[in-house]
Structure 1
Amino acid sequence: MAKQTTYAGDGEYVDSYYAYSANPAPERPPLKEEVHAQVCVVGAGYSGLSAAITLAEKGYQVRLLEGAKVGWGASGRNGGQIVNGLNAGLQSFRKRYGEDTAKFVASVVQEGGEIIRDRVKRYEIACDLKDDNVFAALNSRHMQELEERVAVWESYGLHHQELLSREQMQEYVRSDLYVGGVVDRSGGHMHPLNLALGEAAALESLGGVIHEHTPAVRIDDSGPKPVVITPDGKVTCDTLVLCGNAYLGSVVPTLSWRVMPVSTQIMATKPLGDALAHSLIPSDACVEDVRYVLDYYRLSADKRLLFGGGTVYGGSDPSDIKAKLMSNMLKVFPQLKDVPIDFAWSGNFALSFTRVPQLGRLGDNTYFAQGYSGHGVVGSHLFGRILGEAIDGDRSRFDVFAKMPWVPFPGGRLFRVPYSTVGSWWYALRDKLGI
């Protein structure tokens, strides 16, 4: 029978550099029967894999359903940057939810990166993991924001970040565009799809079962146990974990309208060679600027420049990704004008209006996590662990996030895209004017 997906075409990976350089992985057959699972997880991205591994390490029997292939969505297409924190800053948590909540968030903002490093080491995952990420300032206002960020983080006992002058920035990234920046020693970068594939193998080594090309068509929660209906089978489970994020679609309408899919784009140059690559980013750190619509980039293991940026609210792909990104790349590195681009791709993340990830329950036995708003690499690993803790009986950390109120987009589904687009234009104009 042909592979069936509801959102992913034939379910194969997009034509990205990550798919081109992915480690070998086994075929994981779709579900074609009715089964029972102690825990069923929907979505084999970082959230689902992190929750599943957390539970499997505790002895739970876990079955993971993926509508396409492991890491098919944002987890296998992102910039590969380990950027500590959640999209909403510690200042925002303090202002909205109070000092106690801000202290709690500060205690976990680096945990996602720690989880990644621990699992890479424990399960011997080959994903080109490297240290350091750099935040780059284009003007004095950006630099002031970074100074405030470092001061706030240090006030909560987080001392891994160091301010960089214009001259010091040259040691990390050789571009005349920046007036200074910050290096986070606890940040880093890696091959995101290979991380997901390695985590899938880790889950299977713990007894977990993964079914690819098995989309959740419908969730039936009318009985005492949740049931996931798939095209050729179903899973009845004691506990259900929903981790579809931007690709959950209309399967669970109560969740899908809480977030908005937003696409971001990345391209990869041809291999630059050691000398040229070193002349661009001598530190081999990953870099992102601090504009509202930002650029982010790093070197791959084979010395390509991976350059990303741009947003399309609503999640559609731009007609020409290279054209969308090229002018920004050349502002940073004009010497790359004639360097060919080998790959260009797009992918969606789920944006929440408050930029705070959403964690919670639907009824007694169904848990969910979504809305990382562009900071999903670390956030998803953290929230997956917290989901696993809650299912195992410790809801202390889960409850802090679950009690944070979510806010709908102004204008609802019909106007959330134009509203966000206008807001994006306004903030982009402020960045351009340096105000």
Structure 2
Amino acid sequence: MEHAPIRKPYAGLPSYYAATANRVTERPQLRGEERCDVAIVGAGFTGMSAALELAERGYSVIVVEGERVGWGASGRNGGQLVNGYSRQLSEVRKHYGAEAERQFGEIAREGSDIIRERVAKYGIECDLRDGNSIVGMHDAHMRFLRGRVEEWHRHGYTDVELLEGDAIRKVVNSDRYVGGYYDPRGGHMHSLNYVLGEAAAFEALGGRIFEQSRVTKVEDQRAIGTPFVG
């Protein structure tokens, strides 16, 4: 896929993602008074995901961003789709019970499903590739990874495959690793292009984004339709 060269709006963001960003649009600064059902602060992954979800449901939504869409961590991260958490789900069960563990398990896999659905629905060009591996360099790593695979299988995600010995070289051409696991529902994407694609989809549904519009104060008026002033 060919990428356009770096454009002015992201000249202050020196990264591969900024240099290969698609369809960069400079959006207006918020001036004066605007009204909406929901105002969202921040045009990163969380803000744009929430804004798009609300716009799909028919709400009038405004997003205000202090810099540009995807300017912070959302447009600079590694772009990996890794299902799971930094701790085993059994830790959730230990502290909060079996139902909490079940819910956390579902949420962990839901994120990558939402991304794939939006990429397909809105034609987001973000170089999405399926599958990833978590690898281990010694026995202690493998004990953790075996536990992770067993845990996913217990939650019904049997497509996660444990790779030991020579099997790891099916996915990683290196002798440094003793094993790992492969998750076909993991993946990798161009993180900035993904959030820019969400922004374009949001605007196509009537949503409005104001850039260079830093929020300095929030007042609780307890009324829908209250004027929003940046």
TM-score (norm 1): 0.49
Residues 28-427 of structure 1: pairs in structure 2 closer than 5 A: 28-221=27-220, 223-225=221-223, 234=229
Matches of 1:197 and 1:137, distance apart in 2 = 34
- Number of residues paired by the alignment? 222
Once the two structures are superposed, residues 293-344 of structure 1 have per-residue CA deviations (whole angstroms, 9 ceiling, x without a partner) of xxxxxxxxxxxxxxxxxxxxxxxxxxxxxxxxxxxxxxxxxxxxxxxxxxxx
Corresponding residue of 1:26 = 25
In the TM superposition, residue 193 of structure 1 has moved relative to its aligned partner by 0.3
Once the two structures are superposed, residues 157-205 of structure 1 have per-residue CA deviations (whole angstroms, 9 ceiling, x without a partner) of 1112101123111121122221100000110011000001000000001
Matches of 1:124 and 1:13, distance apart in 2 = 27
Kept in 1, the 8 Å contact 2:37–2:225? The answer is no
Overall identity of the aligned pairs, in % = 45
| 2:21 counterpart letter in structure 1 | A
| 1:224 counterpart letter in structure 2 | R
Once the two structures are superposed, residues 113-169 of structure 1 have per-residue CA deviations (whole angstroms, 9 ceiling, x without a partner) of 000000000000001010101001011010011101111111111112101123111
Matches of 1:226 and 1:60, distance apart in 2 = 12
1 or 2 for the larger relative contact order (CA 8 Å, sep ≥6)? 2
Go from structure 1 to structure 2 and tell me whether the alpha carbon gap of 1:15 and 1:162 turns closer, same or farther (over 3 Å shift): same
In the TM superposition, residue 49 of structure 1 has moved relative to its aligned partner by 0.7
Secondary structure of 2:182's counterpart equals strand
Secondary structure of 1:103's counterpart equals helix
In the TM superposition, residue 234 of structure 1 has moved relative to its aligned partner by 0.9
Matches of 1:185 and 1:46, distance apart in 2 = 22
Secondary structure of 2:158's counterpart equals coil
Go from structure 1 to structure 2 and tell me whether the alpha carbon gap of 1:228 and 1:27 turns closer, same or farther (over 3 Å shift): farther
Matches of 1:27 and 1:101, distance apart in 2 = 42
Give the structure with the higher percent strand: 1
TM-score (norm 2): 0.91
In the TM superposition, residue 14 of structure 1 has moved relative to its aligned partner by 1.6
Matches of 1:197 and 1:44, distance apart in 2 = 9
Matches of 1:198 and 1:50, distance apart in 2 = 11
Once the two structures are superposed, residues 95-114 of structure 1 have per-residue CA deviations (whole angstroms, 9 ceiling, x without a partner) of 11111110111122111100
Matches of 1:89 and 1:45, distance apart in 2 = 27
| 2:200 counterpart letter in structure 1 | A
Matches of 1:12 and 1:95, distance apart in 2 = 48
Matches of 1:25 and 1:102, distance apart in 2 = 40
In the TM superposition, residue 26 of structure 1 has moved relative to its aligned partner by 1.5
Once the two structures are superposed, residues 13-61 of structure 1 have per-residue CA deviations (whole angstroms, 9 ceiling, x without a partner) of 4200000000122110110111111100001011111111111000000
Secondary structure of 1:183's counterpart equals strand
Matches of 2:209 and 2:89, distance apart in 1 = 36
Matches of 2:200 and 2:101, distance apart in 1 = 35
Kept in 2, the 8 Å contact 1:65–1:212? The answer is yes
In the TM superposition, residue 92 of structure 1 has moved relative to its aligned partner by 1.7
Unpaired segments ≥5 residues, structure 1: 1-9, 236-435
Matches of 2:68 and 2:88, distance apart in 1 = 33
Go from structure 1 to structure 2 and tell me whether the alpha carbon gap of 1:151 and 1:228 turns closer, same or farther (over 3 Å shift): farther
